[in-house]
A and B are shown apart, each in its own frame.
Chain A
């Protein structure tokens, strides 16, 4: 399939591996990739953990995005950068994988993923187990051909409501067709949770900038990420961001995404923005 192991795969090579326990990997952001959302640092690190978990469980099960208790961002990736990812598995069983992760660029840590939990689902519902096993072997040996990633188009938000400096609501129309669905996942296309987080954070950043009297803000810490449901291609989500009381050099916001007819949110998180001077 066009785009498989290219359009949304962020591990080029697994450079160090203690099976089922820890790994290090690399991913080169192609010069042609254009904008590379910071949330894809978490995607790259999470994918490394997923490969280790899938291999440990014999390519029977795969983790899907679920919970990330704390994510610290300390830098933004640019086209041409090489991401050096590292993960440590705390536990990996048939129901879930728990792990920690880090990402460095040029020797500087730009991401820390603390206390992530990915629920396990049958791999064959999402992908071809034997094809994944073959690609994993490539990652662990020669590495995949670099510069496969074509870039990812940002899905615009449609403003619905808002109160300046306090909250905003917007609609996210998930594309019916996008290159990343070929990779995420071949047998069951799902809107990537990290792209949803990127859009929720972008909505909240607009509100936080208003709360900071127009000064620029940057997402520094994301906590309590929980993704409860899959979002199918073509779905419409309502995103809501509310700035939390407080202030100073850090502005907090609560994020939520809802799909029509669902009792609980599709996903939610809290984000802390640093106000740039």
Chain B
């Protein structure tokens, strides 16, 4: 299990993450609040996520596998127990609440379609994504 991510770690990289998000989405830097949903609040589309992950990889010199957030959130929970017929199960929702602790609780609404999980992602979610990728990167 990866070590817990601290607030200080997020604080340290957040300015660069926010600038990268603003560049990728073409929005103002001050719009990129920590709890801003990239889709709901900043109008991100799927191509923006591709762009953003790519820019974060370059900015932080880390490799971020695609689909990493959902994969990490699911952890050791079998896919069939995480979602059924495209809808996140109760157990899956509990995992997401725990893993995406930075997302305000009222945004987790059942039933949640698996394809709607990215709607939950906030700017801070991407800061944590970078920190996890950095921690898992083999030492040079």
Contacts and interface: CB of A to CB of B under 8 A. Distances in A.
Contacts of B46: 119
Contact of B51 (A93, A95, A226, A264): A226
Given A117-B51, A119-B47, A96 B66 contact: yes
Interface residues of A, number: 17
Contacts of A263: 43
Task: Provide the main secondary structure of the chain B interface.
Answer: helix
A98 B47 contact: no
Interface in B45-102: 45-47, 50-51, 54, 58, 66-67
A115 B51 CA distance: 10
B26 interface: yes
A67 B47 contact: yes
A250 B51 CA distance: 27
Contacts of A95: 50, 66-67
A264 B43 contact: yes
Contacts of B50: 66-67, 95-96, 117, 119
Given A67-B54, A268-B26, A228 B66 contact: no
A98 B26 CA distance: 21
Contacts of A268: 26
A264 B66 contact: no
Nearest to B25: A264
Residue with the highest number of chain A CB atoms closer than 10 Å, among B23, B45, B51? B51
A228 B47 contact: yes
B11 to A, nearest CB: 28
A264 B51 CA distance: 15
Contacts of A67: 47, 50-51, 54
| A contacts with B: majority SS | strand
A275 B129 CA distance: 43
A66 B47 contact: yes
A95 B43 CA distance: 20
Interface string A134-162: 00000000000000000000000000000
A226 B47 CA distance: 8
A162 B45 CA distance: 30
B115 to A, nearest CB: 13
A123 B50 CA distance: 19
B28 to A, nearest CB: 15
A11 B47 CA distance: 26
A115 B58 contact: yes
B66 A93 contact: yes
Contacts of A69: 54
Interface in A178-230: 224, 226-228
A209 B46 CA distance: 36
Nearest to A95: B66
B43 A117 contact: no
B45 A264 contact: yes
A93 to B, nearest CB: 6
Interface string B89-126: 00000000000000000000000000000000000000
A97 to B, nearest CB: 10
Interface string A247-277: 0000000000000000110001000000000
9 contacts: A66-B51, A67-B50, A69-B54, A95-B66, A98-B54, A117-B50, A119-B47, A227-B47, A228-B47
Interface of B: 23, 26, 43, 45-47, 50-51, 54, 58, 66-67
Pairs of residues from A and B, 5 with the lowest C-beta to C-beta distance, nearest first: A95-B66, A67-B51, A96-B50, A117-B50, A66-B47
Given A119-B50, A224-B23, 8 more contacts: A66-B51, A67-B50, A96-B66, A119-B46, A119-B47, A226-B47, A263-B43, A264-B43
